[in-house]
Chains A and B, each alone.
Chain A
Amino acid sequence: MAVAGETAKVDPMYQFTVKPLLGENLDIAGYNIAFTNSALWMLITAVVLWVFMIGGMKRELVPGRWQMTVETFTGFIDDMLEANVGKAGRKYVPYIFSLFMFILLANLLGLMPLGIFGVHPFTFTSHFTVTGIFAIISFAIVLIVGFAKHGLHFFSLFVPSGTPLPMVFVIAPIEFISFLFRPFSLGLRLFVAMMAGHVLLEVLSSFVIDGWNAGAGFGLLVGVPSFLLMVAICALEILVAGIQAYVFALLSSLYINDAENLH
């Protein structure tokens, strides 16, 4: 790292900078509403998802490959809600499906190696503002459905059935706190998993660059193993992108299950 001062030092956090692209001076009520790279990649993700769905919604009797792919995804979410919520879960398929596909495509598009063409993908799921809003929407659905369906009886969620009376005063606050922590943990998990992966890739790539800059010896000793590890971590990141989208959808449907059928 002795040469790091002379050569360009790699800043692993720079990739998460939100930059305004259009309308830097557009203010509404004191808040800047510029069109940022984050918004641009949200738009790209939405368009990709839209194209993917339009291409697969032809309702052919004998489905082609594209329609088959779309039906695999919708069937997957449908089965998940059927297993976790039951018959009442069918009406949440559109929400959970949109959530799952949007997060999955955002994670995967953020991993695309478009940097070699000079376009730098921005993973907006690595920002807590975005994932936090997803989590708040899920949590709001749980609260609205729970109170609309069960009224004040919804509070019995905090007392598991069969709890002895003396234990209620201990268990109810713990359940209440764990309930309030849900949106936080839901948003935090996705944002940290994506951010950690991207920081790791950036740090490994800085090892490759700084290693070769320090000479061929360092390049072979540090650069080549780091590069091989980077390729393997890229594969792992694709897996993580899928798992995190799945976990977000799964936990959302579990929380909705609490609201639909009080345990």
Chain B
Amino acid sequence: MDLEAAKMIGAGLAAIGAGMAALGVGNVFGSFLESALRNPGAADGQQGRLFIGFAAAELLGLLAFVVAMIILFV
């Protein structure tokens, strides 16, 4: 296998991380909705924490994208 093909496979494997981050982000919003429907009164006060959790989960997926870009273009 030459280097170019190995790079492409590596970038493709790095994209798995983006899918994993999708699970994480879905889990954040899913859990929020689940508990927000149980207690709608408390939901508005937790929106800041919701987006902090979203940002933390999303960052790891974006890091996977950065790894793929570095493999492909750097």
Contacts and interface: CB of A to CB of B under 8 A. Distances in A.
B51 A196 contact: no
Q: Which 5 A-B residue pairings sit nearest by Cβ, starting from the closest?
A: A192-B62, A247-B55, A189-B59, A196-B65, A185-B59
B55 A80 contact: no
Interface in B50-74: 51-52, 54-55, 58-59, 62-63, 65-66, 73
A83 B48 contact: yes
Interface string A179-202: 000000100110011001000000
Interface in A207-263: 243, 246-247, 250-251, 254
Contacts of B58: 189, 193
Contact of A84 (B48, B54, B63, B65): B48
Interface of A: 13, 80, 83-84, 185, 188-189, 192-193, 196, 243, 246-247, 250-251, 254
Interface majority SS (helix, strand, loop, mixed), chain B: helix
A37 to B, nearest CB: 21
B70 to A, nearest CB: 11
B48 A188 contact: no
Contacts of B55: 189, 247, 250-251
Contacts, number: 34
Contacts of A247: 51, 54-55
Nearest to A181: B59
B29 to A, nearest CB: 11
A79 B38 CA distance: 25
A246 B65 contact: no
Contacts of B66: 188, 192
A257 to B, nearest CB: 11
B51 A243 contact: yes
Given A196-B62, A247-B54, A251-B52, 17 more contacts: A84-B48, A188-B62, A188-B66, A189-B58, A189-B62, A192-B65, A192-B66, A193-B58, A193-B62, A196-B65, A243-B51, A243-B54, A247-B51, A250-B51, A250-B52, A251-B55, A254-B52
B59 A188 contact: yes
B51 A246 contact: yes
A191 B41 CA distance: 35
Nearest to A190: B62
Contacts of A189: 55, 58-59, 62
A263 to B, nearest CB: 15
25 contacts: A80-B48, A83-B48, A84-B48, A185-B59, A188-B59, A188-B62, A188-B63, A188-B66, A189-B62, A192-B62, A192-B63, A192-B65, A192-B66, A193-B58, A193-B62, A196-B65, A243-B54, A246-B51, A247-B54, A247-B55, A250-B51, A250-B52, A250-B55, A251-B52, A251-B55
